[in-house]
């Protein structure tokens, strides 16, 4: 741990002498202390505010102890083995989050997955603007990183979104809900590492099922989905697949093409 960071932590009442590094991914450095987790990086203050917003909406998240530019201090969670009861309760909590009232689509701050920008400039929560948000803020920015033939397929799909996506879904979503961003504790499943926006809850469900499948207990807890969800799912899964392609290369090209095929693009 850098000397300046250790000095700042001591000033905030945390002893860094026993800190050890954790895997932080592309966005930040992460350190575990006795009772807290310390994250440093350009986006961690945004992450802290997003976690606080999720918590204020009733979602299960670690307590946010301190936020300042470049520094985030969170409650340290103690992982435990997940049970069907954990999964069912998490499904119920996620459905409640997705039903949270929204007066706009997007978020007040932009975010990023490493070098991949997430432009979140809000659009009013008016009929027809959710499909516009998903096209303009998620799919089309990544189309510019693709070979011409694949880019044209994404552009064709984006043009059809008013006919594919709900006009006015509302809701609050985690935004990067793969199973690695769930920590199961003795009490419940906790959400970490958000990329929050206001929008359609099926975005989270698409990401949660992109690389795996949650157990039936989660499905029972979440409850039934609106008609047409199977057709919408690949539309929502395409964005994280494009992010993986941009970050990690051609190993994800086949996934992108399969999702475009599933969308009929």
Pairing of strands 104-105, 111-113: unpaired
Q: In which element (H, E) is residue 54 found? A: helix 44-56
Q: How far is CA 131 from the centre of its chain?
A: 18
Report whether 255 contacts 244 (CB < 8 A): yes
CATH numbers and ranges of domains, the chain: 3-75 (3.30.200.20), 84-262 (3.90.1200.10)
E runs forming strands in 51-94: 64-68, 71-75
Measured CA to CA, the distance from residue 125 to residue 169 in angstroms comes to 8
Measured CA to CA, the distance from residue 111 to residue 46 in angstroms comes to 7
Each of the 265 residues of the chain gets a pLDDT tens digit; together they read: 788 888 888 888 888 777 888 875 556 789 899 889 999 999 999 999 999 999 999 999 999 999 999 999 999 999 999 999 999 999 999 999 999 999 999 999 999 998 999 999 999 988 889 999 999 999 999 999 999 999 999 999 999 999 999 988 989 999 999 999 999 999 899 999 999 999 999 999 999 999 999 999 999 999 999 999 999 999 999 999 999 999 999 999 999 999 999 999 9
What's the whole-model pTM score?
0.94
DSSP label at residue 233 = H
Which amino acids are annotated catalytic? 176
Hey, what are 163's tokens?
Answer: 């006919």
């Amino acid at each position: 741990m850098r000397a300046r960071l250790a000095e700042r932590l001591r000033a905030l009442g945390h002893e860094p002498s026993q800190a050890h590094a954790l895997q932080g991914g592309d966005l930040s450095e992460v350190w575990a202390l006795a009772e807290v987790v310390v994250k440093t990086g350009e986006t961690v203050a945004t992450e802290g505010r997003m976690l606080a917003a999720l918590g204020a909406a009733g979602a299960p998240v670690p307590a946010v102890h301190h936020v300042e530019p470049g520094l985030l201090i969170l409650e340290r969670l103690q992982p435990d083995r997940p049970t069907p009861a954990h999964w069912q309760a998490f499904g119920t909590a996620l459905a409640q989050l997705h039903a949270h009232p929204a007066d706009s689509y997007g978020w007040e701050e932009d975010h990023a997955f490493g070098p991949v920008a997430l432009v979140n400039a809000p659009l009013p929560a008016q009929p027809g603007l959710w499909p516009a948000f998903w096209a303009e803020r998620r799919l089309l920015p990544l189309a510019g990183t693709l070979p011409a033939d694949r880019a044209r397929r994404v552009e064709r799909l984006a043009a059809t979104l008013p006919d594919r996506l709900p006009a006015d879904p509302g809701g609050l979503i985690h935004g990067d809900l793969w199973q690695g961003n769930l920590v199961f504790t003795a009490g419940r499943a906790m959400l970490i590492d958000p990329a929050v926006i206001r929008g359609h809850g099926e975005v989270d469900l698409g990401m949660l099922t992109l690389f795996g499948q949650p157990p039936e207990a989660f499905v029972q807890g979440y409850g039934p989905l609106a008609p047409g969800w199977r057709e919408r799912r690949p539309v929502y899964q395409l964005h994280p697949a494009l992010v993986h392609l941009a970050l990690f290369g051609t190993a994800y090209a086949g996934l992108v093409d399969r999702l475009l095929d599933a969308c009929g693009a």
